[in-house]
Amino acid sequence: MDLNNFFLMRHELTLLVIILILLIAEIFISEAKKSRVVSLALLLFGIHTVSGFFPLAESNLFGGMFRSNELIHFFKNVLNLGVLILLLQSADWVKEKMTSNDRGTEFFILLFASLFGMYFMISAGDFLMFYIGLELSTLPIAALAAFEVMKRSSSEAGIKLILSAALASGVSLFGISMLYATAGSIYFDEIILNITADNLTLLGFLLFFAGLAFKISLVPFHFWTADVYEGAPISIASYLSVISKGAAVFILMILLFSILKPLMEVWEKLIYVLALATMFTGNLFALRQQNMKRFLAFSSIAQAGFILLGLITGTQLGTATVVYFVTIYIFSNLAAFGVVQAISLQTGRENMKDYEGLYRTNPNLSLVMMLALFSLAGIPPVAGFFGKFFLFTAAASEGYYLLVFLAVVNVTISLYYYLLVIRAMFIRKGEDPIPFFRNKVYMRIGLLITVIGILALGLYSPLYDYIFQLSGILK
């Protein structure tokens, strides 16, 4: 393995360098100038995101443990973009934490460490690398969920996340060991040759699947979601619902469509049932939420149910639509979380009731929120519509008409509660509306990027064609 090959891990290496630079900066920057770390982190990560778009060769490293191809590369870029937006949106919040209780640099270090784990998880060529990536992506997030240590709810969220995650990864590891027992290898390339649908393999697959389903918050592995989102800082809730979920969907798709393809007879039934359970549960719970973070938590569970509609197909079309949908979902959900974050940062208010009359006092924020919710609900002509439309097309083209019909019913339910928020903002007068405020510049950029994404991604069709062509790699 020469040095050139080593640069296949360019994403991982630069992120590692950034983490190290931040560690050093933390030591050497004086107390008074601490908040400069935020700008430094943003700058470095911005460079990292941009540099990520330079093409990479397709090859394997470490005897097949680490894989890299154009599709995986694209996944990482999408995640980078999401994290960059998230950093922009939470920059002011971190700055505030730095001045008030001298904590902050670890926010970036932990966040990047988690992203680092996700890179390895997506690039994994065997179950060992996958498992290490999975753990590395989860553990720092548990620490971050408890970032506001003084707040009881934040610590509670941290505990709940770490306990649930430990259970999930334990179950998953158990499943992996069974797969190893039946297939005789942990390398994907070898498993694919030996896998058969016997009972032990099925049980192993199921247990392994539960671990990932936990990360995507599929029903019935979703219970932690709402509590953790509510208690954790908004940035972290946002990270969990967007980046973490997106990465888990990507790797699940890679595995289902490649090494687990022989089990398709079985997993398509599983996904069918889970898709329905997830959509209905997410939507029914979302109907009655008052806290915006809990509301978005259940809405994101429901969205995960929609994603399964693309996964069930196992085709190139399915892959393309899932990737496309997740990309759009990242922008839409980050926009929604961004607005919640902005309002919470300025006023500390997080309930739907507080949003009443928002349009009169903060028209721009309300418009961003409206676009985000329209996109999540799938109303044309914003991007979310195209995302859902293509997902449903993919499922229908494989003959899942009933599932698509029920998904449409769910879209209708979801429309109801998304419109509840819009009604609160635009129609209700509100006794005590949030007063007008101006966002800081990072937040504005963060929101602006999401808005551009929501408006442009749906109409800019070359993106879809590009994704479709990339998706051929998985077959």
Partner 1 sequence: MNLSYILLIPFVPLAVFLVLGIFNQKIKPAVSGYVGVAGLAISTLLSYYTAFQYFFVHGKADGVYQTFVDKFIWMHFTESLHIDMGYLIDPISVMMMVVVSTVSLMVNIYSRGYMKGDDGYTRFFAYLSLFTFSMFGLVLATNLFQIYIFWELVGVSSFLLIGYYYTKTSAIAAAKKAFIVTRFADFGFLIGIFIMGYYTGTFDFQELTNPEGVVILNWASTSFMGLSVITWALILIFMGGAGKSAMFPLHIWLPDAMEGPTPVSALIHAATMVVAGVYLVARLFPMFYLVEGGFALQIVAYVGAFSSLFAAIIAITQTDIKRVLAFSTMSQLGYMMMALGVSGFEGHEGVGYMASMFHLFTHAMFKALLFLGAGSVIHAVHSNYLKDMGGLRKYMPVTNITFLIAALAIAGVPPLAGFWSKDEILVAAYENSQFIYYIGVFVAGLTAFYMFRIYFGIFWGKDTKYEHTPHESPSSMTLPLLILAFLTLIAGFVPFSELVTADKTGFEAHLNLPLAAIAVGVGLIGIILAWIFYKKENDLATRFASAFGVFYKWTSHKFYFDEIYFFMARKVFFKSVAAPIAFFDKKFVDGTMEGIGNKTVLVSRKIKAIQSGKVQDYAFGFVAGVVIIAFVFIYIWTN
- Residue ranges that bind partner 1, judged by CB under 8 A: 159-160, 163-164, 167-168, 171, 197, 199, 202-203, 206-207, 210, 214, 219-221, 223-224, 226-227, 266, 269-270, 281, 284-285, 287-288, 413, 416, 461-462, 465
Q: Which amino acid is at 335?
A: A
Q: Count of H helices and E strands in the chain?
A: 21, 2
Give the nearest distance from C-beta 271 to partner 1 in angstroms.
Answer: 11
| 125 vs 453 by CB, closer to partner 1 | 453
What region does 73 belong to: left with phi over 0, alpha with psi -120 to 50, or beta?
Answer: alpha
Q: What is the DSSP letter of 67?
A: E
Give the nearest distance from C-beta 409 to partner 1 in angstroms.
Answer: 9
| 35 vs 321 by CB, closer to partner 1 | 321
Give the nearest distance from C-beta 364 to partner 1 in angstroms.
Answer: 11
Give the nearest distance from C-beta 15 to partner 1 in angstroms.
Answer: 31
N residues, the chain: 475
Tokens of 237: 């809730």
| 86 vs 276 by CB, closer to partner 1 | 276
Q: Which amino acid is at 1?
A: M
SS3 percent helix, strand, coil of the chain, rounded to 5, is 80, 0, 15
| 65 vs 183 by CB, closer to partner 1 | 183
Cα Rg of the chain (Å, integer)? 21
Give the nearest distance from C-beta 226 to partner 1 in angstroms.
Answer: 6
| 183 vs 210 by CB, closer to partner 1 | 210
Give the nearest distance from C-beta 213 to partner 1 in angstroms.
Answer: 9
At a CB cut-off of 8 Å and minimum separation 6, what does 53 contact? 77
At a CB cut-off of 8 Å and minimum separation 6, what does 348 contact? none
| 55 vs 462 by CB, closer to partner 1 | 462
Residue 258 CB coordination number (10 Å): 14
Give the nearest distance from C-beta 266 to partner 1 in angstroms.
Answer: 6
| 217 vs 235 by CB, closer to partner 1 | 217
Look at residues 249, 20, 212, 248 and name the one whose alpha carbon lies nearest to residue 113.
20
